Amino acid sequence: MRMKTLIGLVFLGPLFGVAMAQAPTSAAPVRILVGAPAGGTTDTMARALAQALGQQIGRSVVVENKPGVGGNLAAEAVAKAPADGNTLLMSFTSHAINASLYPSLPFDPIKDFTPLTMVSSSPSVLVAHPSLPVKNVAELVKLAKEKPGQLNFAIGALGSSLHLAGDSFKMKAGVFIVNIPYRGTAPAVQDVLAGQVELMFAAVGNAQAHIKAGKLRALGVTSPKRLPAFPDVPAISETLPGYESSAWFGLFAPGRMNPELAKRLSDAARAAIQSPEVRRRIEHEGAVPAGNSPQEFAKFVESEIVRWRTVVQYSGAKPE
């Protein structure tokens, strides 16, 4: 019996073997790398998950920000890390977008990662400055067709999910709206608030207060159905059937991970996501908690790479 226990500890590897053999405070922490700056939504999602995940696995879990190249620096570091459960990646929609946006990557977005679970999805909202004479998506499409190239979308970052949400909209609606790129979401929002640019796809968390204050007009949400935060705002798909565009955040491990260890990590992460505290923090960001299985998440990522390839090609977007 004792020999079986020892064999079990060795099989489970560093992540759980150390956690069971030592107190959590003496074990080296598990690292979640984030390819975005501190304070952004991806960082917030990682930090919301880290403490609860640590409680599930009996280890300290820390978040390390490694921004740059659209999240590729952090992804490369995890792709090249040992598949021992000590280094994880909190990635976002760019994991799928970058497969088409960048001519070459130092990793394979499928083969070099083990998908564990989607943490959350984050629909956006199409907003307009109140001076624009439209109150819904149908009126916007009509105006854009009457004035091709005379309306503008503010874009926080070229190649971002919000940029491509706008290009997906233009593809579906058959309209020409000019993209105005900014270096960051904050200045883009400010120019829409000031009326310098008429339109923008914005994260719910960035736009909600301005919509409630009447400084921005919500025309539609990008989720398949209406959002609880905006029950009176139609889904864009109600006017443009099949339209849907949501940012997502997911937890990955390095590729070639032992299936048993991957399952244990996934189960722990999914339990953490369903905890009341983590759900509250995710929903506070205007996001929807997820927690799907590794198999479901893997299929989703593969489908996202295909879906965004079409939009990237249409947009002509290039890496900044």
> Which tokens sit at 46?
């990682």
Which residues 6+ apart lie within 8 Å of 226 measured at CB?
A: 233, 234, 235
Question: How many C-beta atoms lie closer than 10 Å to residue 122's C-beta?
Answer: 24
Interval 59-107: pLDDT, tens = 999 999 999 888 999 999 999 999 999 999 999 999 999 999 998 999 9
> CATH assignment of 123-238, given 3.30.70.20, 3.60.15.10, 3.30.2350.10, 3.40.190.10?
3.40.190.10
Find the range with the poorest average confidence among 190-194, 208-212, 310-314: 310-314
Query: Given a cut of 80, is residue 317 above it in pLDDT?
Result: no
Interval 213-267: pLDDT, tens = 999 999 999 998 888 888 999 999 999 999 999 899 999 999 999 999 999 999 9
Integer Cα distance of 52 and 198 in angstroms: 41
- The predicted model gives 121-143 an average pLDDT of 96
pLDDT confidence tier of residue 27, bands split at 50, 70 and 90: low
Query: Given a cut of 80, is residue 139 above it in pLDDT?
Result: yes
**Fold of the CATH domain 2-122+248-315:** D-Maltodextrin-Binding Protein; domain 2 (3.40.190)
Please give the model's pTM, rounded to 2 decimal places: 0.80
Could you tell me which residue, 159 or 275, shows the higher pLDDT?
A: 275
Burial call 181-220: b when 16+ CB within 10 Å, e when fewer: bbeebeebbebbbeeebbbbbbbbbbbbebbeeebbbbbb
Query: Given a cut of 80, is residue 133 above it in pLDDT?
Result: yes
| Residues forming CATH 3.40.190.150 domain(s) in the chain | 2-122+248-315
User: Looking at residue 184, what DSSP letter applies?
Assistant: S
Interval 154-205: pLDDT, tens = 998 778 888 999 999 999 999 999 999 987 788 999 999 999 999 999 988 8
Query: Given a cut of 50, is residue 8 above it in pLDDT?
Result: no
| Residues forming CATH 3.40.190.10 domain(s) in the chain | 123-238
